[in-house]
Structure 1
């Protein structure tokens, strides 16, 4: 089978641990099973020189865990991973791997025992630890996620057709765990209230009125606390925002995601990024990607021989 999963940008400013957007950058895995025991893994692209090529590979491990949870096993497994999503940059690479593994494992089960969409979301969220990346990776578009009574849930919200994500991806990585360690245990009530208002505005701006994206992406919960760990990213984000571009730290960072309102603003964002990086003499250490909003989400193609 072949599984194709989009990258995701979580938080989007004030939507900490609750909002995520699927973008047009994809990891693809091809899975073959056999009755002969053993695991082989081949990797191209991101992480080809560093990721494990045995049963500890995250996709392989997730496939086996998903199948085992239904009482089955996979003796032989061959995995070909074509990785395009940058690792450790706040674009949902681990979520993509988990979604790939769960969907592949689910497709190997008998039809009557396969998980439905809600159960897939809950399982992926549990394996990832939170739903904000796996939800848009599964369903595409904008996902609003939450946990209730120990169950992870999500709904999709519309995204205006004029919105164009522009990602500035630095060469340096930052682990989610390290970024979370910088957050305070408590924030002032006024900050929480202000953040609630901006998150609500962001949903409206993303779906109906993109001109309000700069106001809707103001965050009071996490970006300022993490800025010291990604000073170049924080400086670039502030530079874009000063010029009216709705820029945020993507996920835990350090990628900067600009949500441009139309082609003209996407071009403006690219120019501003280029000029800022040139002035800082760091242009060679960044990639700038003009992306699209993925509105489909993960897809599985099954091939039987």
Structure 2
């Protein structure tokens, strides 16, 4: 496969996985975006500039996650190897359970697709399968690609996903702490076996969540209840677990976002005003938390080619 472009801009949303009982399966795209610009170079090297989240921390060469995903995707498509310059403006917090690594992988896959002479050789299903190779599970990658709420699973031929309907009255608030938590640590405290009664309970709540998201947001409190993973993870994110319990005691549908420690709250109607009132007595008195209401991203990752006539002195159209 030949390359059909040498300069693309990509925009990819943050995501919140699990939504309580939908462990490793459900996810929601949030309108908080990383933006990336990729230019191909004649030299066989990768040069990475990072602004915002992760600046000074993430790799700035071939080990950068976007570069790895991009190169892997181009290789699968049979495209020639080339050098590249990657510029990242990162707004998705790292290590907070908002899908920053999935966003990086998806950005690389989507950028590679846009660079191909025939982008249609990679549809959304193919991109999800490739992204899941990096992530191991598709719960964050699916909403990052498709937007909105998604249900993802491993099926015949690899990872698959479907859109879930979201009632337009639902709003998402994320409570982001200063503290970070590695996903590997959050997964490391999960037991190999759980009681049958807890598994059955959580399966029922996951089914209810589909209905609550689509048509019955008044059921979100019950629908976001989980017995499969959050209690086991409480020991490695004590403040988040306490915040979830406090919010749920006030009738608010709160859950740990992904592997944490961010907390996701889903509200509708007057629930948002109620949440603001409750938060004024909780996180305002607790150092290190900030509330963000980004909105639900109905569109997943996007890419556009930058034509020569549109470029500035450095081809920079992102900022």
- Common topology (TM > 0.5): yes
Matched, 1:241 2:216: no
Partner of 1:97: 104
Partner of 1:294: 297
CA distance in 1, matches of 2:222, 2:119: 47
1:263-293, CA deviations, whole angstroms, 9 ceiling, x for partnerless residues?
A: x3223213322311244xx23x112101211
Shift, 1:229, TM fit: 0.6
Q: Pick from 116, 121, 124 the counterpart of residue 109 of structure 1.
A: 116
Matched, 1:232 2:239: yes
The 5 Å alignment of 1:17-96 reads: 17-96=24-103
Q: Pick from 141, 153, 162 the counterpart of residue 146 of structure 1.
A: 153
Q: Which moved more, 1:178-187 or 1:73-82?
A: 73-82
Equivalent residues of 1:166, 1:270 under 8 A apart: no
CA distance in 1, matches of 2:200, 2:254: 21
CA distance in 2, matches of 1:138, 1:162: 23
CA distance in 1, matches of 2:246, 2:192: 29
Gaps of 5+ in 2: 1-7, 309-319
CA distance in 1, matches of 2:268, 2:119: 45
Matched, 1:268 2:274: yes
Shift, 1:99, TM fit: 0.3
The alignment yields a C-alpha RMSD, in angstroms, of: 1.3
Give the secondary structure class of the aligned counterpart of 2:94: coil
Shift, 1:8, TM fit: 0.4
CA distance in 2, matches of 1:228, 1:274: 25
Shift, 1:35, TM fit: 2.0
Matched, 1:197 2:204: yes
Partner of 1:121: 128
Equivalent residues of 1:168, 1:273 under 8 A apart: no
TM-score by length of 1: 0.95
CA distance in 2, matches of 1:297, 1:218: 27
Shift, 1:94, TM fit: 0.3
Paired residue total: 301
Gaps of 5+ in 1: none
Give the secondary structure class of the aligned counterpart of 2:63: coil
Matched, 1:158 2:165: yes
1:228-259, CA deviations, whole angstroms, 9 ceiling, x for partnerless residues?
A: 11011111111110011000000000000000
Shift, 1:37, TM fit: 2.9
